[in-house]
Amino acid sequence: MISQALLGGSFDPIHNGHLHIAREILRSGLVSGVIFLPNARHNFKQGSVLLDFNTRYDLVASVLEPGMEVWDDDARGSGFTSELLQRLRRKHPERFFFWVIGSDNLEALPRWHDFPWLRENVRFLIIPRPGYPASGSVLKRIRRKTLKIAPSDVSSTLVRQRIQAGKSIAGLVPRSIAARVVSLYKPLLAGHEV
């Protein structure tokens, strides 16, 4: 059975921290590939995602490295992880998926849509985040593996803040997309709260 890690998110924009996580997951040998799943609808960030789905998808696709893929399965979805995973399991019965989650999101996991199904059917791959110890009460309720990796302090918010302030984003996003990211976000961030 093919084992892959699913890395979902808004990727608004994709940055070196996302790629660092994907590289470390691949380096662990736990899975044969990492799949980026940009979402069209983020139920916890409604109205705050700046770039449209297709542009975010294209940015992700343009920086993939060996062992990484990007899928558009969440392009028209509900934004609910449980529904996305059920669709992916039906579509790829020969694959075993880990759902990647940062320890900063664990506390909210029981409030996710259809948490009982997630708890019973999903294996979570937890990535520790500085300042966010994994909640013991949540850990006891889910099937999981924790991957200890060197943290990255890059975030999409930081990238957007630096663009808005007219500062360089060198080192925060892949060099190949840096100019494009600035040109896409600069007009959107004018007068916008990041």
Give all strands (DSSP E) within 42-151, no chain letters.
68-70, 95-102, 123-127, 143-146
Tokens of 73: 């399965």
Model pLDDT for residues 114-160, shown as the tens digit of each residue: 999 999 999 999 998 888 888 788 999 999 999 999 888 899 999 99
Residue 54 one-letter amino acid: N
Model pLDDT for residues 51-65, shown as the tens digit of each residue: 999 999 999 999 999
Model pLDDT for residues 105-114, shown as the tens digit of each residue: 999 999 999 9
Q: In the block, which residue shows the tokens 């059920």?
A: 86
Q: What is the percent of the chain where pLDDT is above 70?
A: 95
Backbone angles phi, psi at 20, to 5 degrees: -60, -45
